Copies of this chain bind each other. A is one copy, B any other.
Amino acid sequence: MIKLDHKDILNLEKYFRISLVTKLSGIKSANLIGTLDENGIANLGIFNSVVHIGANPPYLGFIMRPLTVERQTYNNIKNKKYFTVNQVTTDMHKNAHQTSAKYPKGISEFEACNFTEHYLDDFPIPFVKESPIQIGLSFQEEHLISVNKNILIVGKIEKIILSSDFLSSDGDIDLEAIDTVGVAGLDTYYSNKRLGRYNYARVGQTVTEIKDIKST
C-alpha cells in the first residue's frame, strides 16, 4: 500500500497529481452540457461532476472550474438561464471527449464534434439528438467554493426526453442497455455492467435483489 500525506500530494509532479487526485473518488457519469451564447451559437462541453440534488422537485447540480479563464458554459448559463444535460454512451464517447478541446467562441462543438442540435417544443437550448437521456434545466443558484473558487451550479429539471425502451414500469432506467459511459478523471472512459438492484436496506435483514420489472 502507498500512503501519502497532504504535503506529499502537494509535492507530486503536476500531471501525476492531477491524474491521481481526479481519479481517487472513482468513475463518474459523463454528461454533455449544452448552452447557447448571446449570438445563438450553441456550445457543448463534457462534465464528470453532475450530481443529483433532489427528486421532488427535481434538481441537478454540477461543478464549474474557477472563472480565471473564460468559461463559455458558465457565461451562457448566466446569460440565457437555461441549459441541457445529455448522457454520453459508448458510441458517443470519443466525440464527447473531443468537446474538451479549446474551441474558440463562435465555433459550436455540436458541429465540430459531430453532434446534432435538437430543439424541442419551447425549450430555448438545444439537446444532443444522439443522446438517449436528454434533460432540460433552468438555472436556480450558484455557490462559490471559498477554498479554490470552483462553483456549484444548481438547475431545476424542466424537461426529460428518454427512450421508453429503457424505462421500467416502476421508474428504473436500464443504464447497461442504454450503454452509458463513466469517466475517471479527465481522460479514461469506462462502460458499465449491471451487478444487481437491491431492496431498501433494513436493520437486521439481509440485502435482497429486486427482480426484473417489465418496461413501460
Q: A26-B87, A55-B17, A171-B15 are in contact. Are A188 and B199 (CB under 8 A)?
A: no
Q: A9-B157, A26-B180 are in contact. Are A192 and B191 (CB under 8 A)?
A: yes
- Indicate if A161 sits at the interface (CB-CB under 8 A): yes
Q: Are A10 and B56 in contact (CB under 8 A)?
A: yes
Q: Are B54 and A147 in contact (CB under 8 A)?
A: yes
Which residues of chain A from 48 to 93 have any CB-CB distance to chain B below 8 Å in the complex? 48-61, 63, 85, 87, 90, 93
Give the distance in Å from the alpha carbon of A162 to the alpha carbon of B8 in the complex.
14
Interfacial chain B residues near A29, Cβ < 8 Å: 25-28, 182
Q: A25-B51, A25-B85, A25-B135 are in contact. Are A181 and B203 (CB under 8 A)?
A: no
Q: Looking at chain A's contact residues, is the secondary structure mostly helix, strand, loop, or mixed?
A: mixed
Q: Are B171 and A19 in contact (CB under 8 A)?
A: yes
Which residues of chain A from 176 to 205 have any CB-CB distance to chain B below 8 Å in the complex? 176, 180-182, 184-203, 205
CB of A94 to closest CB in B, whole Å: 5
Q: Are A175 and B190 in contact (CB under 8 A)?
A: yes
- Indicate if A116 sits at the interface (CB-CB under 8 A): no
Q: Are B152 and A17 in contact (CB under 8 A)?
A: no
CB of A100 to closest CB in B, whole Å: 5
Q: Are A188 and B201 in contact (CB under 8 A)?
A: no
Interfacial chain B residues near A27, Cβ < 8 Å: 27, 29, 175, 180, 182, 192
Residues of A within 8 A of B (CB): 1-6, 9-10, 12-31, 48-61, 63, 85, 87, 90, 93-95, 97-104, 112, 120-121, 133, 135, 140-141, 143, 145-148, 150, 152, 154, 156-164, 167, 170-173, 175-176, 180-182, 184-203, 205, 207, 210, 216
Having A52-B185, A97-B207, A189-B198, one finds 7 other A-B pairs with CB under 8 Å, namely: A17-B171, A25-B51, A26-B180, A61-B145, A97-B198, A140-B147, A172-B185
